[in-house]
Amino acid sequence: MTPMLAASLVSGLAVGAMYGLLALGYHVTWVVSRSVNFAQGSVMMLGAVIAFSLAVSGGWPMPFAIAAALIGCAGFGVVLERVAVRPFRARGSESWLMATVAAGMLVENAAMFLFGKEPRGMPSALARHPVMLFGVGVLPLHIVILLAGLGLAGLFLLATRATPYGKALLAVVQNPRAAQLMGIDAAKVTVFAYALSSALAGLAGVLIAPLTNVAADMGFVFGIKGFAAAILGGLDNPWGAVLAGLLLGLAEASVTAFAGSGATVMASFGLVILALYLRPHGLFGRAEARKV
Amino acid sequence: MTLSAIVRRFMFGASRALAPAALAFAPHFAGAAEPAPVPVGLVAALSGQSAASGEAITRGLSVAIAEINQAGGVLGRPLMLVRRDDESNPGKGIAAARELISREHVAAFFGGIDTPVSIALVPIANKEKTPFLGVWAAGTGITHNGANPNYVFRVSAVDTLVDQRLLRYAVTIAKAQHPGLMLIDNPWGESNHAGLEAAAKSAGVSLAGAESFESGDTDMIAQLTRLKAAGADAIILVGNAAPAADVIHSLDRMGWNVPVISHWGISGGRFPELAGPSAEKVAFVQTYSFFKSSPKGEAVLAELEKTYPAIKGPQDIIAPVGTANAYDAMHLLALAIAKAGSTEGPAIQAALEALPSYDGLIKRYAPAFTAANHDALGADDYIMVHFAADKIVPVE
């Protein structure tokens, strides 16, 4: 493998892991409530903006700034579920779809107003000195991002299979009424799912910011690509969502390396459409059997 | 609708409602009536990755307008700046320019950092017969647009000449034999691609290759690796601050320590913050440095320090090229309006082409423009600089 391709693939894996984290966020709310948070991209931006504001402008130590950003994003998820999702789902309406899109735009514009429209550089000790591995410069942050993406997918899978709370999460979507009769508070579980999903998006924002920059409009394209990864991997499959994110990142990096970045979006979304044409339920998803 | 537009509309409505009363009292206050200001426009990036450029231009224009107004204004009327944000987007720039001309009735308008936006504004200026003065965007085709009469003027660099300067620096100072080009994928990048190839050809230099990148790209390792493999021993960079910073990140990741010579787009944003410590090794072109000592330079600097308390010295002037170019352009426009004796576009255009000599901040314009040359600055007016921390200081 040429150093150029190897270096591009390292970047592709890092960006792909971020798509994966966002996709995992889409998956979490989908499996619990059959709804998704289309403000994921904006929440990702929110995480980066809060961490930047506290660490750089406010002088907080970075770990505290990151923790506050994740708590802030989770809190936003709770509010979003209460305001933009629950009222519509309670009436059997699908308008949560538009409501979450609108909430995302609201957050983005508020960030432009409060944070400014100028991109800022997020400092990170992990993105300063590359380590040369087989002639390829790899930043410690690349490795952290990849481990975070895969580790969180693994943790989520483990939690939903092996812990009572995780099982409760999945029980709600299988049969909310039965779950409630078993003492599971479906509303609380859904709120938790939205908080978790938003925290994952916030984490993606915090992790990717030092590799790109922090800007009020940084989340939009990431949000779309994260959703593409979630659909590609199968919304019901956490591993699928993360792996599809990685695949999408790698595909983009390869296209950029060989055909230039002008072709990246065309080629990567073309591949997504082709993959869904061949496997309508996603690369790792399964057709859902419905009893009638 | 922006807040300022709402306020203006309210004031307009209020002024209509109060007009009869004003007429009744007019004879008593005739001596106190303020002359109506002459509006001049600015269409520039006031937000986004090049927001610093818009702020720098605003500062240059504002200081010049304050000086002109203090000296009695033009045609006995004060000048008034009306700004619009093009967000580096040609479509938004076109809408803003049309609004400035049709609603604000600007006598002339200034442009910002983005060549694609300025190129889009050229036909509007020529069709509406409203002078358009570029103070940053360097695309050759902005002033060399084939229109007659041509309403577009520029107090800024011209790509073809900047390209000659960048190449000369790469060969003589950085000792490069095969520079490689990293160019933003837009009309500005294309303009420089043609200019740099022509400059290399006339200087007998063989380029290692030319690669392009998109504004949103964050990883340029593929392009840089190709240039390295082709034998590039210097990089000539054309791009704005954010993607240019990612070129520097990519060089760092590759561990490739190569001289980087840049066009001036990097000075329109937070390049040192975005690129990190390696920002300092990038040499780039400017038309003016506030470190250059001259009586006029010191006077303008003092005025900037007075108006903007964050400025404590030449090192604190963000994007100095925008401020200096805009300052001189505003004074040249005021001279033209005075010479024309009118705020009508065709009269100002004719006056701009026939200005007398003028001692400006950047240089003595003798004269600034002629019918054949709408560019006030030439190759001899460029200097090379670099960042020292977040300050811009000369390298020569």
Are B270 and A116 a contacting pair at CB < 8 A?
Answer: no
Alpha helical stretches, state H, chain A: 3-33, 40-52, 62-80, 86-90, 96-115, 140-162, 164-174, 176-181, 186-208, 219-233, 238-259, 264-278
**pTM score, whole prediction:** 0.77
Q: What angle do CA B263, B266, B271 make, to 5 degrees?
A: 150
Q: In the CATH scheme, what architecture does the domain B160-286 have?
A: 3-Layer(aba) Sandwich (3.40)
If one compares B223 and A180, the residue with the highest pLDDT of the two is: B223
| Cα dihedral across residues B349, B354, B358, B363: positive or negative | positive
Q: B310: distance to nearest CA of chain A, Å?
A: 17
When CB atoms are compared, the residue of B222, B229, B274 closest to A213 is B274
State residue B1's pLDDT score: 42
Are B47 and A120 a contacting pair at CB < 8 A?
Answer: no
Chain A residues with beta carbon closer than 8 angstroms to that of B269 = 118-119
CA distance B134 to B157: 10
Does residue A179 surpass a pLDDT of 80?
no
Per-residue pLDDT of B322-337, as tens digits, reads: 999 999 999 999 999 9
Per-residue pLDDT of A25-78, as tens digits, reads: 999 898 888 889 999 999 999 999 999 999 998 999 999 999 999 999 999 999
- Confidence band, pLDDT 50/70/90 cuts, at residue B75: very high
If one compares A131 and B20, the residue with the highest pLDDT of the two is: A131
Does residue B80 surpass a pLDDT of 90?
yes
Kindly provide the ipTM of the predicted complex, given to two decimals: 0.78
Are B269 and A119 a contacting pair at CB < 8 A?
Answer: yes
Q: Is B185 on the interface with A (CB under 8 A)?
A: yes
Q: A260: distance to nearest CA of chain B, Å?
A: 8
CA distance A230 to A19: 8
Q: What angle do CA B39, B43, B46 make, to 5 degrees?
A: 115
The residues spanned by each domain of chain A are 10-115+141-278
CA distance B337 to B339: 5
CB B227 within 8 A of CB B235: yes
Name residue A69's amino acid.
A
Does residue A259 surpass a pLDDT of 90?
no
Considering the four listed CATH numbers 1.10.3470, 1.20.1260, 2.60.40, 1.10.287, the one that applies to the domain covering A10-115+141-278 is 1.10.3470
Nearest to A62 by CA among A117, A106, A125, A116: A125
A120, A255, A261: which to substitute to probe chain B, counting the most B Cβ within 10 Å? A261
Does residue B23 surpass a pLDDT of 50?
no
Which of A73-77, B108-112, B187-191 has the lowest average pLDDT?
Answer: B187-191
* Token pair 């609201």: residue: A106
CA distance B165 to B227: 21
Crossing angle between the packed helical segments B345-352 and B320-340, to the nearest 10 degrees: 110
Q: B273: distance to nearest CA of chain A, Å?
A: 6
Q: B52: distance to nearest CA of chain A, Å?
A: 8
Nearest to A97 by CA among A44, A10, A36, A23: A36
Scan residues 194-233 of A and list those with Cβ closer than 8 Å to B: 211-213, 215, 221
Per-residue pLDDT of B352-361, as tens digits, reads: 999 999 999 9
Percent over 70 (pLDDT), chain B:
91
Domain with CATH 3.40.50.2300 in chain B: 37-157+296-380, 160-286
Q: Is A273 on the interface with B (CB under 8 A)?
A: no
Chain B residues with beta carbon closer than 8 angstroms to that of A137 = 221, 252-255
CA distance B119 to A155: 53
DSSP annotation of B379 reads G
Residues 6+ apart with CB under 8 A from A72: A46, A47, A50, A202
CA distance B30 to B185: 58
Q: Are strands B109-111 and B79-85 parallel, antiparallel or unpaired?
A: unpaired
Does residue A224 surpass a pLDDT of 80?
yes
Does residue A4 surpass a pLDDT of 80?
no
- Confidence band, pLDDT 50/70/90 cuts, at residue A287: low
CATH code for B37-157+296-380? Answer: 3.40.50.2300
Q: Is A4 on the interface with B (CB under 8 A)?
A: yes
